[in-house]
Amino acid sequence: MGNLAQIEDVALHLGTEQLFTDLNLSVSDDTKLAIVGANGSGKSSLLRLLMKEIEPDSGRVIHAPSVRIGYVPQQEKFVPGESVLEAGIRKLSYIGDEHTQRILAAKVLTKAGFESHSVLADELSGGWRKRLSLATAMANDPQLLVLDEPTNHLDLSGLHWLEELLKTSRFPWVLVSHDRYFLEQVSKKILELSRVYPRGYKTYEGSYLEFREKKKGYLEQENRRIASLANKARRELEWASRSPKARTGKASFRMKQAERLAAELREAKSQKEATQEVVEFQTGDKGSKELVQCIQVSFAFDSNEILKKFSFTVKNRNCIGLLGRNGDGKSTLLKLLGGALSPQSGKIKRIQGLRFAYFEQLRASLSEWNTLGELLGEGSDSVVYQDKSYHVIGWGRRFGFEPEDHSKAIDSLSGGEQARALLSMLVRQEADVLLLDEPTNDLDIPMLEALEGMILEFDGAVVLVTHDRYMLDEVCTHFLGFMGGGELKNFASFEQWNDAILEKEAKVKAQSRSGQSVVPGDEVPKKKPSKLTYNDQREYGKIEGQIEKAEAALSALEERAADPNEHQDPKKSAQLTSELAAAKDKVEKLYVRWEELDTLKRSFE
């Protein structure tokens, strides 16, 4: 099939603002397109145009005859009391008879990791609701998949599942996302909506990082053009000011030239990219290096062991990323560090006078205010920040709020607006330790980058919980990963923790085929598998390639170890020996796992 969908010369405005004009987009069999842009730039509106849910101001949207499109909106409501299987059947009601619908729904739910199909859809966590939406959208083998913020609410396991699904999909897709790591993993083309472009949009071939580099080049070229234009306009305007009565011939032409250049310069400056002002967190004057000490701390909820004899020290200028699945206990650990919870055994020592700023506590205080303006000024029309007074309107602009936003009711704010408002409150608190529980939810990319700058400039300690892997890589100096059973370990990166989790799960599955969930600790009821699971099949398909890579890495290390020059420095020699042992161990474990999966596969053939 050629083009599955096409947008031709489309223009759209929102209120008095023109979002984009003359927008053209073709979606074909191999399209893997990500749409990015600041909040309010029109990303979701563009998806709704593509789905023909709204009409453009001008232009047209064309779908191929009988094209099957799967669509996952940002939020999807499920019928109260409806099981996930019933939800799947309802969404497939246009396909065949009820028996066919039931079989198809059960198949896609299993592939998505639902090991029980009787759990109620409206009682699922946000991440599992998103999985259900994605699974049912793909049930009819769509020719095109359209996703609006598909990573919202997914935990790290869910993000990995979605990435693999999109990277290996046979169908094309178009999506909107602010998750930069996710975008880098899956996208082949980026369409950005932004006022910096004359028509409000521009398309870039390549991954997200390639887009960033190409956009940087575009903006540098535009800045040079604006500087040249300003020089030309200045010269012509100076000439015109000396010859105000010139009306014919060359003089008349230069007058018109001066007016045209001035207008062009105003237009170019209006399109210049607005930079997000970085506001620094206010830190105290704690000179101590060690701020919080956890000594043999244990904590559990009933039989769910969160921490078991956990010892760790939070030091100044450290940013600690907490890694874990939903329900592992990341938020609980933040509350223990800040004193909102007490350990059931062990001790937590904090230096005297230590001040915490806790993002989640501020979230709970939103309801204290009626309007955004009241919240931003905390009841006043001025804000004191770093011993300076700012009018609440100017303060709001630092966080992307315009004067007309101040009258908005708190309960009408979008998720992104709430997050920005909370950050405006957080930066005003003097603190030695920042406890940030999911501060990135619903923030757009410019605000995410501003928050990264704020964290990097903070002189105290930060403990961060986020599913934004790009931010984790950018700001964290240490990682603590939940391994289950109350165990936490130090890791050098998210990838190292993820590999350790996958390895542990593989061992558990090998020891007991008792139906372990895709996500340890989730609340989806489990069943005993009667065949090779979807995750096992996926792992089996990849493991030979992993073995080849591991053996190549081992071979390279063995060559280095055979070189006498590598052993002249005792420290480097010891490091090489350690790496070699780890590489051998990895290859051996991969072969053991391959044999387990191969035996299991053949037993059901």
User: For residues 316 and 327, is the Cβ–Cβ distance under 8 A?
Assistant: no
Between helix 415-426 and helix 445-457 the angle, nearest 10°, is 20
Residue 588: per-residue pLDDT: 67
pLDDT grade for 513, boundaries at 50, 70 and 90 = low
The answer to which of 52-66, 158-172, 250-264, 416-430 has the lowest mean pLDDT is 250-264
User: For residues 347 and 296, is the Cβ–Cβ distance under 8 A?
Assistant: yes
pLDDT grade for 259, boundaries at 50, 70 and 90 = low
Query: What whole-number percentage of the chain has pLDDT above 90?
Result: 34
**Positive or negative: CA dihedral 225, 227, 228, 234:** positive
Asked if pLDDT for residue 599 goes beyond 70, the answer is no
- H or E element, residue 311: strand 304-315
* Length, in residues, of the chain: 605
Two tokens, residue 294: 């956890």
| Three-state helix/strand/coil letters over 275-308 | CCCCCCCEECCCCCCEEEEEEEEEEEECCEEEEE
Asked if pLDDT for residue 263 goes beyond 70, the answer is no
Q: How far apart are CA 140 and CA 96, in angstroms?
A: 11
What is the per-residue DSSP string for 465-493?
E-S-HHHHHHH-SEEEEEEETTEEEEESS
User: For residues 501 and 98, is the Cβ–Cβ distance under 8 A?
Assistant: no
Q: In whole angstroms, how far apart are CA 80 and each of 83, 137, 320?
A: 9, 20, 40
User: For residues 381 and 457, is the Cβ–Cβ distance under 8 A?
Assistant: no
Asked if pLDDT for residue 220 goes beyond 90, the answer is no
Phi, psi of 298 (to 5 degrees): -125, 145
User: For residues 102 and 176, is the Cβ–Cβ distance under 8 A?
Assistant: no
Closest CA to 417 of 432, 437, 402: 402
Helix, strand, or coil here: 169? Answer: coil
**pTM beyond cutoff 0.75:** no
Q: Which residues pair with 174 in a beta bridge?
A: 33, 146
User: For residues 366 and 418, is the Cβ–Cβ distance under 8 A?
Assistant: yes
Q: Are strands 356-358 and 487-491 parallel, antiparallel or unpaired?
A: unpaired
Q: What confidence tens digit (pLDDT) does each residue in 359-411 have? A: 876 777 788 888 999 999 888 888 888 778 889 999 988 888 889 999 999 88
Contacts of 351 (CB under 8 A, 6+ apart): 286, 288, 290, 291, 292
Return the residue matching tokens 């370990």: 489
pLDDT grade for 32, boundaries at 50, 70 and 90 = very high
Residue 560 burial (C-beta neighbours within 10 Å; 0-12, 13-18, 19+): middle
pLDDT grade for 291, boundaries at 50, 70 and 90 = very high
**Positive or negative: CA dihedral 234, 238, 244, 247:** negative
- Across 316-355, where does the E strand assignment appear? 319-323, 345-350
Asked if pLDDT for residue 65 goes beyond 60, the answer is yes
Closest CA to 460 of 379, 543, 366, 350: 350
User: For residues 23 and 10, is the Cβ–Cβ distance under 8 A?
Assistant: yes
- How many C-beta neighbours within 10 Å does residue 35 have? 26
Q: How far apart are CA 400 and CA 289, in angstroms?
A: 35
Q: Which carries the bigger pLDDT value, residue 153 or residue 338? A: 338
User: For residues 310 and 486, is the Cβ–Cβ distance under 8 A?
Assistant: yes
pLDDT grade for 110, boundaries at 50, 70 and 90 = confident
Q: What is the mean pLDDT of the chain?
A: 83
Helix, strand, or coil here: 540? Answer: helix
Q: How far apart are CA 134 and CA 130, in angstroms?
A: 6
